[in-house]
Amino acid sequence: MTADPASWLTQAGYRRDADTHCWLPVGKASEFAYSDGEAVEAALLSRVRAVADRSVLSPELQAAIHDWPSRYHLSARRANLLRPFARWLPGRSVLEIGAGCGALTRYLGECGAQVIALEGSPRRAAVAAARCADLANVTVVADTLQRFRPAQAFDTVTLVGVLEYARLFFLAPPGHDAVDGMLARVGQLLNRAGVLLLAIENQLGLKYFAGSAEDHEATPMFGIEDRYRPDGVVTFGRAELEARLSTAGLGSARWWFPFPDYKLPTVILSESAMKGRCARDLSPMVEASVAADPQQPVTWNFSLEQAWRAVLRNGLGGELANSLLVAAAPTAEVLPPATALAHHYASERHPAFAKELAVCRVAPAARRWWRGRSSVAAARWRVVARNLSPAVPPPSPLRQHLEDVDFVPGVLWQGRLLELLNEPGWCAAEIGQWCSAWLSHLAKVTELVASEFGWHDQLPGRFVDAVPRNLVVSGEQGTFIDLEWELEAGVEFGHLFYRGVMLALLGVASCAAPARAQAIDLGTLFLQVAEACGHRVSVADLERCHAAERRFQEWVHGGSWIGFGELLLHSLPVRGG
């Protein structure tokens, strides 16, 4: 917007509160019932005001995360939802409807957008204002969408986790659905080239079939069974949402799909990524996101990781994605571009190590002529790596290497472990065979013989990330990908073995029942797997390896990792167990 927000807000009947720095309507008491609880929001406000660094990647705010509300409002993963638009947002006027406590507001401001953050709850608006206190391009208004009357229309309006509450908080004329009323109002707030960015849970998300509770009612199968009421929360499948957007005059749409969902995404796939070869080759990214979901059910109805393979292979990923992210406008030419097939983010780290990996298509080579015939080289994919905070110096004896490389198709070896563990009656010896195959490929790149690996042998530090979840196998060929880490002092084989096996097991969201008497606690299971690979490991050796990995994880993430005692008590999540 070109108009000065302070000027038109004053003229529109708002005043800037000296304590919270929010703009409040003069003489009108705000009535807005949505809240995480007064104590929770008071604690958030106190914490945000107490820290020096309020940025998206702030280590101080990351350290304050201790439960679901604090993670939802403070995690750097929240901003991943909008990172695919990082080059499109700068300079745009943005109205953020339902700003909450400012997690996305902060990212929009850091991107260089001119932001009006609208939040119905004055208490939550105060947290958002504190989060963005050092950003002159962000203005927080504590008011309802119904009452809000800006001086000009906006380039962009965001509705993230908001539309589902329309029937509770947006007044519609009798006989009209408040959902459609809210979308119509959004259309009025957009200028001629304006775009709506909307994110919402998918009513038909696969994780809800698999056993996750409906996101708002906390009841399994609530949305699948279509139990939404005319006066309650509601979500939609993709086709119904698209139809409602079209009815509101926003008939041109471009879709993205955040995983595990829109709240704390680690992966965002474009529409193109859901089709044909793309869906098949990129499915490991979706599989890996399942374990990253902090809101998992007590038990799954089936292996969600395994199910995603068939869903994506059959072109149903867009219909069954857990969440929907859509850019909608009256005409297609104003929509933001899909700059990559897929984005993977690792943002809950020390800022120096936060990164994005984007899988991009590389244009085919120029046409060539040979013996009178023309040919065009096939298009290939490129993985483009980017540090999210390149100016921050690394704080540890850990080096990060980010480089652009060609995409490597094949079977991710972590996925083979999922197959193994989802066969009823699996045992540690089978995991040992799986590990042995990994070690054979490791031996090739280290130019050693797998049988000669000694537990205390020192390997070059560049192999610390040569673990199964970074191994792609195609036939007899194995390729280690995304080897971003290097330990300056080298890595002990025992630590690497522990790291490879334990990270693989911790990345399993659910598994079938094992063979009778097979241990499922990670400590015992690890010792059995090591023995199956020819390594007799003591509990003291295990604790030593854990200490080395814990130091590694604390360097990367800037915070504490799982303790040894806690790890010993952790068990594989057996379905029905």
Per-residue pLDDT of 433-473, as tens digits, reads 999 999 999 999 988 776 778 999 999 999 999 999 999 99
Per-residue pLDDT of 142-186, as tens digits, reads 999 999 999 999 999 999 999 999 999 999 888 899 999 999 999
How much is the pLDDT for 172? 87
**270 in the Ramachandran plot: left (φ > 0), alpha (ψ -120 to 50) or beta?**
beta
CA distance 31 to 144: 9
How many angstroms separate the Cα of 198 from the Cα of each of 186, 240, 250, 290, 345? Answer: 11, 14, 12, 22, 20
Mean pLDDT of 116-124: 96
Strand partners, 82: none
Distance from the Cα of residue 35 to its chain's centroid: 24
CA distance 349 to 273: 26
Per-residue pLDDT of 16-48, as tens digits, reads 999 999 999 998 666 677 888 899 999 999 999
* pLDDT tier, 365 (very low <50, low <70, confident <90, very high otherwise): low
Q: Residue 406 phi/psi, 5° resolution?
A: -70, 145
Higher-pLDDT residue of 225, 298? 225
Determine if the pTM surpasses 0.85: yes
User: Residue 213: pLDDT above 70?
Assistant: yes
Relative orientation angle of helices 413-421 and 276-290, to the nearest 10 degrees: 70
How much is the pLDDT for 569? 86
Alpha-helix runs per DSSP H in 212-349: 238-247, 276-290, 304-313, 317-320
User: Residue 326: pLDDT above 90?
Assistant: yes
How many angstroms separate the Cα of 462 from the Cα of each of 72, 298, 457, 469? Answer: 34, 38, 15, 16
CB within 8 A of 35, min separation 6: which ones? 41, 121, 123, 124
How much is the pLDDT for 146? 92
User: Residue 132: pLDDT above 70?
Assistant: yes
How much is the pLDDT for 271? 96
Per-residue pLDDT of 475-493, as tens digits, reads 989 999 999 999 999 999 9
CB within 8 A of 377, min separation 6: which ones? 364, 365, 368
Beta strands in 291-414 (DSSP E): 323-329, 342-346, 355-362, 368-370, 373-375, 380-387, 398-400, 405-406, 411-412
* Pair of tokens at residue 555: 């360097």
